[in-house]
């Protein structure tokens, strides 16, 4: 019987995972060595923006199902399941930095007191459980303590992490014992069988070995990245031929073997998962002698998207020196304040270098952008509203498809701008509505309006 769960790491994966387990009825203690982060969480606030996290955090702090601590020893000693959700940042060669994983595993191993299922949830190259985690456990766990090691990758999307935890389309269990499988089924039982949860027949449960479970995660993200770069390549072909990428995507996505997900042309993918996992899988493949040209080409297409939109801005304006450019959205996607690998971090410095004045607005990510870009005093001005950013602008660039941008009052927007030119990096606006309101509108793979 599971009594308590310990989650190591309270970042974008660990905190939603912890709170979702608490929502399922388990008692959870979250461990993070950043004491300031822990204090912030204990106050009932998430250290990052993620829908529903603050609500669940306040709820389960109040009812006692979740506590946060920077003291690992007691948390591990009292737990029956310890879930490792620490970061595995990208190294210069694209591989994963496993130092946090090694440190967390050693700490866990030293403090286990009874049978414990150690769950590796952090995203890692295949073979990490057997070559890194298992040897540490074998060396450091006291002889009298029984344990199992398992791999249980997360498939959380930033912006919907809590929903994805509580409504999974699949559960992957990498195990090497029947006991580990049984503990997993108990752990996720409330999710599968509860009357307000996901019917078990709708969840694909994959029971496999450690390496396969690890590879499933990286391969999933690499495949999604491939779909995005593929449709962006086709968007460039649409621009050259006069075809419409939205209709093209509908035609492709209607084939059930392809489906419509991740066929949205534009500035490409960013965030902490797809780029890192794509490069991590490529680095692993190279290391074992596998031809990874497909993965490398996906990355090349994606990184080239910023230059595509920059060329378009320069072409439409005849240069950007001393021009005022409004930017809507700096987060890599809506629903998050994360700017990791966001196009904004690459594009905005290039605009500044060309002499542009850049006015930026994002509903959630301005603070993270300012911290990551360090451009606050170099021609980049943070604005409190989308309208303020657009005032007297020569062109508006939409880099993130937030709901408020898609439903913005276009008459008000046109009145505010110096010239009604909009370049849509997410193809999120309605071209017919833009035309009706007198805008010059340019998307990716779309016939231009008024240009």
Active site residues: 273
- DSSP string covering 259-289: -STT---SS---SSSHHHHHHHHHHHHHHTT
Asked if residues 116 and 147 have their Cβ atoms less than 8 Å apart, the reply is yes
For the chain, how big is the Rg over CA atoms in Å?
24
Decide: helix, strand or coil at residue 219.
Answer: helix
Residue 306 belongs to what H/E stretch?
helix 305-317
Taken in order 53, 88, 166, 21, the sign of the CA dihedral is: negative
Q: Is 346 exposed, middle or buried (0-12, 13-18, 19+ CB in 10 A)?
A: middle
CB atoms within 10 A of CB 300: 10
The two most distant CA atoms of the chain are separated, in Å, by 76
Q: Tell me whether strands 81-84 and 4-8 are parallel, antiparallel or unpaired.
A: parallel
Asked if residues 450 and 432 have their Cβ atoms less than 8 Å apart, the reply is no
Question: Phi and psi of 96, rounded to 5°?
Answer: -100, 135
The one-character DSSP state at 90 is: B
**CA distance to 245, 301, 413, per residue, from 236 (Å):** 9, 11, 28
CA dist 283 and 134 (Å) reads 22
**Tokens read off for 32:** 């993070």
The one-character DSSP state at 315 is: H
Closest CA relative to residue 221, chosen from 303, 304, 157:
157
**Tokens read off for 84:** 């490792």
Asked if residues 393 and 412 have their Cβ atoms less than 8 Å apart, the reply is no
**CA distance to 85, 317, 426, per residue, from 333 (Å):** 22, 27, 10
């Amino acid at each position: 019987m599971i009594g308590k769960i310990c989650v190591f790491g309270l970042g974008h994966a660990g905190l939603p995972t912890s709170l979702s387990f608490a929502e399922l009825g388990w008692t959870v203690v979250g461990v993070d060595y950043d004491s300031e982060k822990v204090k912030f969480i204990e106050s009932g606030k998430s250290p990052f923006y993620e829908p529903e996290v603050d609500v669940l955090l306040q709820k389960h702090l109040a009812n006692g199902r979740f506590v946060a601590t920077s003291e690992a020893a007691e948390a591990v000693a009292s737990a029956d399941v310890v879930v490792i959700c620490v970061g595995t940042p990208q190294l210069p060669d694209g591989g994963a930095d496993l130092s946090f994983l090694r440190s967390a595993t050693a700490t866990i191993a030293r403090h286990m007191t009874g049978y414990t299922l150690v769950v590796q949830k952090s995203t890692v190259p295949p073979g990490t459980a057997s070559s890194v985690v298992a040897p540490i456990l074998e060396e450091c766990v006291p002889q009298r303590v029984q344990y199992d090691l398992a791999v249980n990758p997360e498939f959380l999307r930033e912006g919907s992490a809590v929903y994805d935890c509580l409504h999974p389309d699949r559960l992957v269990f990498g195990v090497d014992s029947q006991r580990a499988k049984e503990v997993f089924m108990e752990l996720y039982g409330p999710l599968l069988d509860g009357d307000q949860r996901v019917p078990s027949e709708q969840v694909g449960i994959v029971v496999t070995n450690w390496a396969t479970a690890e590879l499933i995660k990286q391969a999933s993200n690499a495949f999604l990245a491939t779909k995005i770069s593929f449709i962006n390549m086709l968007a460039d072909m649409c621009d050259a031929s006069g075809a419409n990428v939205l209709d093209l995507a509908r035609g492709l996505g209607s084939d059930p073997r392809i489906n419509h997900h991740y066929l949205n042309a534009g500035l490409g993918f960013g965030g902490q998962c797809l780029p890192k996992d794509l490069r991590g899988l490529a680095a692993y493949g190279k290391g074992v002698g596998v031809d990874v040209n497909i993965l490398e080409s996906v990355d090349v297409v994606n990184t080239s998207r910023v230059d595509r939109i920059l060329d378009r801005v320069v072409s439409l304006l005849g240069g950007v020196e001393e021009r005022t450019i409004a930017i809507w959205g700096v987060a890599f996607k809506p629903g998050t304040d994360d700017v990791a690998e966001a196009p904004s971090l690459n594009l905005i410095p290039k605009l500044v270098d060309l002499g542009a004045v850049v006015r930026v607005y994002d509903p959630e990510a301005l603070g993270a952008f300012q911290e990551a870009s360090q451009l606050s005093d170099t021609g980049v001005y943070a604005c409190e509203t989308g309208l303020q950013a657009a005032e007297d602008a020569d062109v508006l660039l939409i880099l993130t498809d937030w709901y408020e941008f898609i439903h913005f009052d276009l008459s008000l927007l046109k009145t505010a701008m110096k010239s009604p030119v909009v370049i849509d990096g997410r193809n999120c606006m309605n071209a017919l509505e833009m035309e009706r309101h007198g805008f010059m509108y340019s998307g990716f793979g779309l016939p231009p309006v008024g240009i």
